[in-house]
Amino acid sequence: MDLADNLITGFSVAFQPHNLFFCFVGVLIGTLIGVLPGIGPVGAMSILLPITFGISPVTAIIMLSGIYYGAQYGGSTTSILVGIPGEAASVVTMLDGHQMALKGRAGPALGIAAFGSFIAGTLGIIGLMLLAPPLASIALKFGPPEYFALMIMGLVILTYLAQKSMAKSLMMAGVGVLAGVVGLDTMTGLPRFTFGSADLLDGIGIAPLAMGLFGVSEILLNVEKTIKQGVVVSQVKNLLPSRQDWKESFAPIMRGSFSGFLLGILPGGGAVLASFISYGTEKRLSKTPEQFGHGAIAGVAGPEAANNAAAQAAFIPLLTLGIPANAVMGILLGALMIHGITPGPLMIQKNPELFWGTVTSMYLGNAMLLVLNLPLIGLWVRLLRVRYAVLFPLILFIALIGAYVINGSEMDLYLMLFFGVIGYLMRKFDYEPAPLILAYVLSPILEDSLRQSLIISSGSMGIFVSRPIAAAFLFISAVLLISAVLPAIRKKRNALVASAEDNN
Amino acid sequence: MKLNQSLRGWTLGLIASCSLLAGGIASAKYPDKPITMYVAFAAGGTTDVTARALAQGLEKILGVPITIENKGGGGATVANGLLASKKPDGYSLLVSSTGSITVRPLLMKLAYNAQSFRVLSQYTFYIGGLVVNADSPFKTVDQFVDYAKKNPGMTYASSGPNTQQQVGVEAFARCKGLSFKHVPTKGGSTANTALMGKHVDFVAGSGSHIPLVEQGQFRELVTFHIDERDPKRPDIPVMKDIGCPPTNPPNGMIVIAPAGLPDDIAATLNAALKQVIESAEFKQLLEKYNMPYAYEDGASVASKFPAEIEWYTQYFKEAGLLK
Amino acid sequence: MNAERVGSLFWLLFGAAAVYGSLDLGIGTMSAPGSGFLTCVAGSFVSLMALLLFVQSFKGDPAAQARVSDLWIGCNWWRAIAISVLIIVFILAFETLGFFLCSFILLVVIMRWLEGLSWKTSIFVPVIAIGCTYLLFKTILKISLPAGIFGF
């Protein structure tokens, strides 16, 4: 069965009218859900799960997958437009994307996000088709020591995100790690820092944290300004990315797709890590790094490509090994099992039309999303021109709904407000929230993998260097760290030398 | 005058008794508004899907809409706490696990305990096992035990500390005089991944391993928590076969209501639940998920709680986990 | 008061509190970390960084550094407080009075009272927004939000 045959099988499945229909329904609902910050694809998929009982498994998977990557597209939209990242993967997009929107460049930002995601999705699907089984076995090689090393690298790359004071950003990363500790300790099963609250047993929650630190705090900051000085969205220039934008974005999209795809395969790793590694990389490689954080389009293109590629790659462990890489894949696994299909190495042989049908429908889904989202850009941009006084209460309303619907818990709303106030104060005092959030995401994996590794090695730290993949990541981290700190040290030394010469 | 008075009296009496009757009929007519069925675990998982099937079946029998609300978190403790605070009027139900009710309160302070609920029905329970990679040198549990005796400190992954399956492994270890190193992970899939990648020696299988055994990636050496061999997999021994006492009482999936639920409402619900659980479709669903059909009446389930609590109290005391 | 100093002092105490909390959890050793190990390390790191920043704030031109009160120049800070209080009231009320009803009141209050928009806008926009969202959630998504005593 060669590739062409498989593709033909796949497309013949994907193009069936009811599969097309459900694919469309999936991506549409996914986009809607994604635009609403907080609720996320897991919520939508679980609600629509009963619908899938009555339809064929292929159709069910097509629809559910559509919701998943549709939600990615939608989440970027809200991040860019109103600065509220609904989930961790959108945080990085927001850093420069929202700045672009504030400068009247929402159109190009949304456009490059849509195109970048489409390109990344397409490349990701190609990767899925060609490389699924070998990549899956590489993913298996990642055990606790490898994850720990990867997390360390992630933390080091976090420092690249710092726009102003490196020390402050590092400190915020430390706070983020602490925030990630709240909840049940995986290793002992006992609660930490939950202050007796049952709602905090699962931790603070990325959505209330991100929505509060970024969204609510921005509302509070803007509301303070007198109406006359309110947020001014300057004249919208173009709706689509310009040639220059494309020049600056093409390489980031390629790099982001590549790294995003690789990182997305790791169960538990995923889109977040991919997105900010891409951001850090682009900032480092850029000829104008000072632009990052103020509306550099490469800072949108790269991460967007990365998180979409990661979303596609997340299917690999599920479809080839039967292992769900994240909660979304868990629902897909459940859906497959209800239909009596057990995903795993045999699935591609036993149910080829399921695998190839799903993969090819992803092409269609990505195309549909592009077609859906591009015309909407004009609509979104017009929405931004609404007076802030009218806009922000609506944004607040959407944030409140989004935060509540995740768990149906009042606590999430309180948390969102609490972090909104914290974020407000932080920005006043010139501390950056982004490192905090990203460190928060890494924290549980960092801690668990450290402790698991040490159990396996019976306490020996050597396990991190004796295993090649882990050692490699640690080495890279060391190199990155030194190369980040070295220029600063050199500057200081030059300054000291210069002042010494002056004194002479 | 007298006639009017008595007429008035009669009318009043008639009205009074009519309203009493009407009120009586109204309260006897349970259910008369939608019921909320909470699910203590995340959407898409086994508990969630089976709960939704239950709800669908119940809807048809009881004639009122039943809405499912997922309230996962803290290993079912969040949902349990929530239900404990609801009114016992039969309009708030919860699909949860026995373990979260009997065992968890022993380990940490929670907003409820085993007496906070009225158990309605159980429909299945979790089964654990000792699972190795298909290409591992251990083909039988005896080979495994021999090796483990000579090489203490083998590592195993579990879906969490003090879960039913992990305790099962420890009970097995105690029986055979072995000692292992436990590597807790966040869930069944993570544990399976660790085994697949050969980062640990074996896994405390928690149910999600069964499809992987069937597909030939894993091998189950011994099954805990059941007393007789599974007829579908007769070559896998149980604790009795290898000369060990039964492991810990298993974790069952149950439908519960707040304590103080009136008997008549409980009876209605139980009858309806029994009908749904014993139906062919529901049994088929359980089969698809490799879960045993294990209907048990609420009273019977609750009567086992004291013994279960006692077992775990002993176990935790010995492990030094009790505060 | 110097803003930098106040800020870094806050985080210094925060880190110290984290370290204190970690002691209860048990720090363990490098080769057998306990439940509080990472908390201790991270908390110490935060305090260390905060100390660094605190010390740094004494260098440099004092005139160029902001004071705490400077951060709020030209800001109607009471409006931020007002919004926060309104949100708190909303959270307290919505389970009893219904999510959509409370949202409606919240939006109207913000638009009319806080922002001084016309009655027409303050009522019209929320009605449309909340109406559409209500339909979306009720019909397509089938997610239920607390209905409260008024039934919606």
Q: Are residues B201 and B133 in the same domain?
A: yes
pLDDT of B307 strictly over 50: yes
Contact assignment for C31 to A459 by CB distance below 8 Å: yes
Interface chains of chain C (3 or more CB pairs under 8 Å): A
Range of the domain at A481: 3-503
Chain A CB contacts of B110 under 8 Å are 198
Phi and psi (nearest 5°) for B13? -60, -40
Q: Give residues with Cβ within 8 angstroms of A183, minimum separation 6.
A: A191, A192, A193, A194, A200, A201, A202, A203, A204
According to the model, what pLDDT value does residue C151 have?
59
Specify if B27 maps to a domain. no
**Angle, nearest 10°, between helix axes A433-456 and C37-56?**
140
pLDDT of C130 strictly over 50: yes
According to the model, what pLDDT value does residue A235 have?
52
Q: What is the 3-state secondary structure (H, E, C) of A362-387?
A: HHHHHHHHHHHHHHHHHHHHHHHCCC
Tell me: the pLDDT tens digits for B12-49?
555 555 555 444 444 457 888 889 899 888 766 778 88
CB B176 within 8 Å of CB B247: no
User: Which positions 367-406 of A are in contact with B (Cβ < 8 Å)?
Assistant: none
In percent, the amount of chain A with pLDDT more than 90 equals 14
Phi and psi (nearest 5°) for B297? -70, 150
Residue spans of the domains in chain C: they are 3-72, 77-141
According to the model, what pLDDT value does residue A232 have?
47
Which residue of chain C has the CA closest to A406? Answer: C143
Q: Are residues B255 and B109 in the same domain?
A: yes
Q: Are residues B138 and B116 in the same domain?
A: no
CB B125 within 8 Å of CB B225: yes
Q: For chain C, what is the radius of gyration of the CA atoms?
A: 24
Looking at residue B89, its amino acid is D
Q: Are residues B308 and B235 in the same domain?
A: no
- In chain A, the number of structural domains is 1
Tell me: the pLDDT tens digits for C14-54?
999 999 999 988 888 877 888 899 999 999 999 999 999 88
H helix and E strand count, chain C: 5, 0
Contact with chain A for residue C2, Cβ under 8 A: no
Smallest CA-to-CA distance from A44 within C70, C141, B289 is with C141
DSSP state, A396? H
Q: Give residues with Cβ within 8 angstroms of A311, minimum separation 6.
A: A68, A69, A72, A121, A124, A264, A271
DSSP state, B116? G
Residues in chain B: 323
Confidence of residue B11 (pLDDT cuts 50, 70, 90): low
In terms of DSSP bridges, do strands A183-184 and B218-223 run parallel, antiparallel, or are they unpaired? unpaired
Burial class (CB in 10 A: 0-12, 13-18, 19+), B262: middle
Tell me: the pLDDT tens digits for B228-249?
888 888 889 988 888 888 888 8
Looking at A414-423, B126-135, B287-296, which range is the least confident one?
A: B287-296
- In chain B, the number of structural domains is 2
The residue-averaged pLDDT of A283-306 equals: 87
Contact assignment for A223 to C83 by CB distance below 8 Å: yes
Tell me: the pLDDT tens digits for A228-280?
443 445 555 567 788 888 888 899 999 999 989 988 888 776 778 888 889 98
Contact assignment for A410 to C106 by CB distance below 8 Å: no
Nearest-CA distance B162 → chain A (Å) = 8
Q: Are residues B178 and B229 in the same domain?
A: yes
Q: Give residues with Cβ within 8 angstroms of A249, minimum separation 6.
A: A112, A116, A241, A297, A298, A300, A301, A302
According to the model, what pLDDT value does residue B6 have?
58
Cα dihedral across residues B304, B305, B308, B314: positive or negative: negative
Interface chains of chain B (3 or more CB pairs under 8 Å): A
pTM of the entire predicted model: 0.85
Residues in chain A: 504
In terms of DSSP bridges, do strands B66-70 and B129-133 run parallel, antiparallel, or are they unpaired? unpaired
Last residue of a domain, one of B242, B272, B295: B242
Last residue of a domain, one of B188, B218, B242: B242
Smallest CA-to-CA distance from A205 within A228, A175, A232, A183 is with A183
CATH of the domain at B65: 3.40.190.150
The residue-averaged pLDDT of A403-411 equals: 81
Which residue of chain C has the CA closest to A439? Answer: C42
Range of the domain at B312: 33-125+251-319
Which residue of chain A has the CA closest to B286? Answer: A338
Q: B156 forms bridges with which residues in the sheet? A: B182, B202
The residue-averaged pLDDT of B248-267 equals: 90
Measured at the alpha carbon of residue B259, what is the angle toward residues B258 and B263, in degrees to the nearest 5? 105
Q: Write out the E strands in chain B.
A: 35-39, 66-70, 92-97, 117-125, 129-133, 154-158, 180-184, 202-205, 218-223, 252-258, 296-297
CA–centroid distance for A312 within its chain: 12
Looking at A194-203, A443-452, B262-271, which range is the least confident one?
A: A194-203
Tell me: the pLDDT tens digits for C100-114?
888 898 998 888 888
Chain C CB contacts of A43 under 8 Å are 143
The whole-angstrom separation of Cα A164 and Cα A429 is 12
Last residue of a domain, one of B211, B242, B273: B242
According to the model, what pLDDT value does residue B2 have?
53
Specify if B8 maps to a domain. no
Contact assignment for C42 to A177 by CB distance below 8 Å: yes
Q: Are residues B287 and B222 in the same domain?
A: no
Q: Are residues B70 and B105 in the same domain?
A: yes
For residue B109, how many other CB atoms are within 10 A of its CB?
8
Q: Are residues B197 and B133 in the same domain?
A: yes
CATH of the domain at B215: 3.40.190.10
According to the model, what pLDDT value does residue C90 have?
93
Q: Which DSSP string corresponds to A229-275?
A: GS---PPP--SS--HHHHHHHHHHHHHHHHHHHHHHHSTT-HHHHHH
Tell me: the pLDDT tens digits for A409-419?
888 899 999 99
The residue-averaged pLDDT of A35-60 equals: 79
The whole-angstrom separation of Cα A182 and Cα B81 is 19
For residue A142 the two structure tokens come to 């990642």
pLDDT of C13 strictly over 80: yes
According to the model, what pLDDT value does residue A74 have?
84
The whole-angstrom separation of Cα A308 and Cα A258 is 11
